[in-house]
Amino acid sequence: MSLNVTALETKHLELGATMTDFAGWNMPLRYTSDREEHTAVRERAGMFDLSHMGQIRVEGPDAGAVLDYSLVNILSGMPIGRARYSLMVDQAGGIIDDLIVYRNDDTDFLVIANGANRLTVADELTSRSAAIEARVAIQDNTESRCLIAVQGPASLDILLSIIDEEDRAAVAELGYYRHGRYALAGVPIHLARTGYTGERGYEVMADANAAIQLWDIIATAGEAHGLQPCGLSARDTLRLEAGMPLYGNELSRDVTPAGAGQGRVVKLDHEFVGAQALRSHGDPATSLYGLVGEGRRAARAGSLIRIDGEDVGEITSGVLSPTLGYPIALALLKPGIGEGQAVVADVRGKDQPMTVTALPFYQSNN
């Protein structure tokens, strides 16, 4: 079975990227080294091709009502130009996907879904809109669009040097989880300030036909700032340092929002698919924790965690932090474990002492 490719496939091959199958897409894992790309984002700037992420348009008089019914929080009251993190759950309350919703105008929303789940999310939005007889159109535009993320302390300076002059003031003032339509070197773009690295960052969305042109413009503008192309490997270590969950690791259909430490997102005072199940759940069986260790041996996903010889859960993501220089991990453990609690991780058959810590592991000053 052939893999899907983004509009930037030829650019990645030209740059010598190591490619990998990610959610059915042929995506760059790295261009140089994981550490070099990670450090570029923390200290300067990096650019990522995220065109595999689902771009699903929800448009019509009942668009807000459909999203309210389909997701765990209330989107219909979100102001135009804002974005909001949300979750889609199934009837049992298990997480189908985590996503970001952008409001373009009164009747037009954009849903960004994980690449592995975008078809499921689009199908669920369609069936849920039909269930409430909504006047709405659901359109998956992923394959006709591109998404380039520019992340790092220099990201704003890079974009301001190429954003059309009439849009520069608005882009300079664009707040966190805000977005708008602008022009970059004359190319129409939808620009958002969200990000998945823990640094200041922006997402450039546009027609797929403009992808290579935009990539080259951003790359050229970024040369003076030390901008580097970055792959999925650096994206994973960056998000882990920032304490951000990943679908398939911390989030899945086997866990509810509260069980994955995302209960704050859920608004149970409105009706949505899965609300009844979430209202009837008692205390969650797990909660999301941060763990730190010493030395250089990182505990990986699947490593069991014990306290006084008792299994209390397992690690969902782990790495030797490139920024901090010591092992960090996210874990789903029994609730009620306090910060500073000593635990033991089973790392390839050997005990690795770790300590429960507050999230995030790393927080940018930018």
Each residue of 324-343: pLDDT tens digit? 999 999 999 999 999 999 99
At residue 10, the pLDDT reads 97
At residue 365, the pLDDT reads 84
H or E element, residue 9: helix 9-14
The model's pLDDT over 208-253, given as tens digits with 9 standing for 90+, comes to 999 999 999 999 999 999 999 999 999 999 999 999 999 999 999 9
> Do residue 164 and residue 38 come from a single domain?
yes
The phi, psi pair for 202, rounded to 5°, reads -140, 150
Tell me, yes or no, if the pTM score tops 0.75.
yes
> Do residue 43 and residue 101 come from a single domain?
no
Instruction: Look at the chain and count its residues.
Output: 366
∠ CA 345-231-238, rounded to 5°: 45
Annotated binding-site positions: 203
> Do residue 207 and residue 353 come from a single domain?
no
At residue 100, the pLDDT reads 98
pLDDT confidence bin for 366, thresholds 50/70/90: confident
Is residue 132 scored above 90 in pLDDT? yes
| Alpha carbon of residue 40 to chain centroid | 19
Ranges 4-13, 57-66, 295-304: which has the least confidence: 295-304
> Do residue 234 and residue 160 come from a single domain?
yes
H or E element, residue 22: strand 18-22
The conformation of residue 105, written as its DSSP 8-state character, comes to E
Pairing of strands 310-320, 327-333: antiparallel
126 touches 312 (CB < 8 A): no
Among 317, 289, 307, which residue's Cα sits nearest to residue 345?
307
> Do residue 77 and residue 38 come from a single domain?
no
> Do residue 98 and residue 165 come from a single domain?
no
Annotated binding-site positions for substrate: 203
Sequence-distant (≥ 6) Cβ neighbours of residue 360 within 8 angstroms: 198, 241, 242, 243, 244, 290
H or E element, residue 11: helix 9-14
What mean pLDDT do residues 156-185 have? 98
CATH at 41: 3.30.1360.120
> What percent of the chain is modeled with pLDDT above 90?
96
Pairing of strands 54-59, 137-140: antiparallel
The answer as to whether 3 is a domain residue is: no
303 touches 345 (CB < 8 A): yes
Instruction: State both tokens at 363.
Output: 């927080």
What mean pLDDT do residues 13-24 have? 96
As for how many domains the chain has, the answer is 3
**How many CB atoms within 10 Å of residue 263?**
16
> Do residue 164 and residue 41 come from a single domain?
yes
Residue span of the structural domain in which 58 resides: 54-128
Q: Which amino acid is at 243?
A: G
The model's pLDDT over 263-298, given as tens digits with 9 standing for 90+, comes to 999 999 999 999 999 999 888 999 999 999 998 899
The conformation of residue 213, written as its DSSP 8-state character, comes to H
At residue 283, the pLDDT reads 87
> Do residue 72 and residue 124 come from a single domain?
yes
pLDDT confidence bin for 161, thresholds 50/70/90: very high
The model's pLDDT over 79-92, given as tens digits with 9 standing for 90+, comes to 999 999 999 999 99
**Strands annotated E in 201-324:** 201-207, 228-229, 287-293, 304-307, 310-320
At residue 364, the pLDDT reads 92
**Strands annotated E in 174-293:** 178-184, 187-193, 201-207, 228-229, 287-293
Query: Look-up: residue for tokens 């999301």?
Result: 288
Supply the DSSP string of 52-78, one letter for each residue: TSEEEEEESTTHHHHHHHHSSS--TTP
Average pLDDT of the chain? 97
> Do residue 222 and residue 155 come from a single domain?
yes
Pairing of strands 228-229, 46-49: parallel
Whether the bond between 28 and the residue before it is cis, its omega within 30 degrees of 0, is: no
Instruction: State both tokens at 260.
Output: 């994955």
At residue 282, the pLDDT reads 86
The answer as to whether 134 is a domain residue is: no
At residue 88, the pLDDT reads 98
73 touches 266 (CB < 8 A): yes
The model's pLDDT over 93-103, given as tens digits with 9 standing for 90+, comes to 999 999 999 99
The whole-angstrom separation of Cα 292 and Cα 298 is: 9
332 touches 318 (CB < 8 A): no
